[in-house]
Structure 1
Amino acid sequence: MPKNVPVVTRAQWGSAAPVLEMKPHVPRLITIHHTATAQNPQRTLEQKLKALQKFSMERSPLSDGRMKEPWADIPYHFYISVDGRIGEGRELKYVGDSNTPYDPSGHALIVLEGNFNKDQVSPAQYQSLLLLTRAIAKKWNIPADRISGHKDNASTACPGDALYALLPQLRTEVAGK
């Protein structure tokens, strides 16, 4: 867990155990995603993480009509809700998952709640993203130029235009430490 970053741990939100074996890895990159769903400040972070874990561990229909086979666990390592709270998803020592054809080995995956082709990143989300990204970059010695959006690695609209537009600023602030 990154030091000096307030994170709701798996134990605190009541995660289930992974349902499949996971592959270990060492983070060398940081990749930013969005949930591509509307922001919902009425639901708690804990509720959102439990729902995401349930979806992730089942064979589930995707918005484009494809079926997603079960994943071992939540695909992302960290989830940032609209109010800026950070939740631990999949343990960072394991490779995440993706609905797109890229290999997430070595990627620390951070997802922000929202569809950033429609929504704006809340100030609290951005501050949490900056704090978390700095901590991961420092702990794993990841240079700022290795912070990317999902669409830099696969053919997708993720992380949405509004969030993607903030990535140059995020890289600059992480590099300045």
Structure 2
Amino acid sequence: MTLPSSRLSRRSMFSAALSLGAATVLPTAAATGAARAATGSRRSDGRDGATAPRITDCAGWGAREASEEVVVLDTRPERIIVHHTASANVTDYSQRRAHALARAIQRFHMDTQGWIDTGQHFTVSRGAFVLEGRHHSLAALEAGDRLVRGAHCVGQNSVAIGIENEGTYTTEEPPAAQFSALADLCAQVCRQYDVPPSEIYGHRDFNSTACPGDRLHAMLPRLRQDVARRLGSAQPVGLPRWPVDLPVDWPADPAAPARSLAEYLPPGLLDPVRAL
């Protein structure tokens, strides 16, 4: 995800922040479909007429205004970078939880990190809700010809879409509904920007971090293939085309243990959950 200056363990700090009191709702296919019809979200057709996933915009989850103008680049992204929040793998799959998470991330990024807005472009909750992160990211995606400059991966913020996934996926996989929503979103990004499915990476592929967790990172080949199928191709997806302009903190040996960058929210930031 984002790269705060602190090197504290993000999971130990973040787990306490997400001890929420909202009711547990397990995501079934029907429940997920109903959830995506919630107020504050919108769905539009892609450039080829395909139906896009429903995405809640910043106004829909109660975002603050950015502290200064968000930079919108007149270029398309070259790739997608997948992250995880390294937060507790809660069983609160509600829309209320998803909105609270988005607000908490923005508060931390703006008030603690001093950034102008949320760092990533989009967030996928464990309940399969898809939310806009940084302002104007959804409008840019719908236009298909511009990119909001993010703050989610050193060296890639002007060339890559950052997608945050709620949870910690070091020893377990994300819920099926969440992974499916991630694939839907990635397919829409690929469709709108002509990004090939092979250009889907994990955060650790560019920076020295455990993100997006061993299990989710191991699922990236499956994610690329799922995205390709959503785009109408049954052909095997090739390996990523590794960029040559990697930042200096990228590990020389990707298989070596990565140091844990701090990607956490301070304890109590989401407690209690604040409704809109």
1:32 aligns with one of 71, 82, 91: 82
Larger Rg: 2
1:121 aligns with one of 144, 151, 174: 174
Structure 2: which 5+ runs fail to align?
A: 1-42, 46-51, 138-146, 232-276
Partner residue, 1:70: 114
Matched, 1:46 2:99: yes
> Residue 44 of structure 1: SS of its match in structure 2?
helix
Q: How does 1:111-150 map to 2 (within 5 A)?
A: 111-150=164-203
> Residue 148 of structure 2: SS of its match in structure 1?
coil
Whole-angstrom distance in 2 between the partners of 1:56 and 1:119: 27
Task: Output the amino acid matched with 2:114.
Answer: P
Post-superposition offset of 1:35: 0.4
Whole-angstrom distance in 2 between the partners of 1:41 and 1:12: 22
Whole-angstrom distance in 1 between the partners of 2:85 and 2:114: 17
1:20 aligns with one of 68, 71, 93: 68
2:125 aligns with one of 68, 74, 81: 81
Partner residue, 1:94: 148
The question of whether the paired residues in 2 share the 8 Å contact of 1:76 and 1:96 is answered with yes
Whole-angstrom distance in 1 between the partners of 2:54 and 2:116: 25
Partner residue, 1:110: 163
Deviations 1:56-108 (A, max 9, x none): 1012xxxxxxxxx311111111111111111111132311113x643321211
Task: Output the amino acid matched with 1:96.
Answer: G
Whole-angstrom distance in 2 between the partners of 1:48 and 1:166: 24
Percent identical among aligned pairs is: 32
Deviations 1:25-54 (A, max 9, x none): 332211100001113343611111111111
Whole-angstrom distance in 2 between the partners of 1:130 and 1:2: 17
Partner residue, 1:173: 226
Partner residue, 2:38: none
Change (3 A) 1:170 1:38: same
**TM-score (ref. length: structure 2):** 0.57
Comparing 18-27 and 44-53, the one that deviates more: 18-27
The question of whether the paired residues in 2 share the 8 Å contact of 1:34 and 1:116 is answered with yes
Q: Which has the higher strand share?
A: 1
Deviations 1:137-166 (A, max 9, x none): 000000112110011111111100111011
Post-superposition offset of 1:120: 2.2
Post-superposition offset of 1:2: 6.4
Change (3 A) 1:48 1:80: same
Whole-angstrom distance in 2 between the partners of 1:119 and 1:169: 15
Whole-angstrom distance in 1 between the partners of 2:154 and 2:101: 25
Whole-angstrom distance in 1 between the partners of 2:70 and 2:54: 25
Partner residue, 1:56: 109
